Structure 1
């Protein structure tokens, strides 16, 4: 997966979270699930920013 693919997924997940949060509240189980999914995508994206030497040490 490319960095651009991840950015697109992140934006889509963020939009989903905003819609769900406004409809059901940010503490709803569905919003919490989407928030965790967004966190995972953001963590994956962050790995692209870390130099390879630090990842393997």
Structure 2
């Protein structure tokens, strides 16, 4: 269940980041960078969960 939740979160963050990129037209805009960092964090969390499941 946790994996599905994280996948939804990742999808939402990715969409949010793409919308910001279109709006700002600047990849180094602080809001775009912050959105990218949030997405990176969620992806890291997702892969940690997958690794835990793999080790079991």
TM-score (norm 2): 0.84
**Residues 51 and 2 of structure 1: is their aligned pair in 2 closer, same or farther, counting only changes over 3 Å?**
closer
**Residues 51 and 6 of structure 1: is their aligned pair in 2 closer, same or farther, counting only changes over 3 Å?**
closer
In terms of fraction of residues, the more helix-rich structure is: 2
**Residues 10 and 29 of structure 1: is their aligned pair in 2 closer, same or farther, counting only changes over 3 Å?**
same
- Structure 1 residue ranges, 4+ long, deviating more than 6 angstroms after superposition: none
| Unaligned segments of structure 2, at least 5 residues | none
Query: How many Å apart are 1:49 and its aligned residue?
Result: 2.1
CA RMSD of aligned residues (A): 1.7
In the other structure, the counterpart of 1:4 is 4
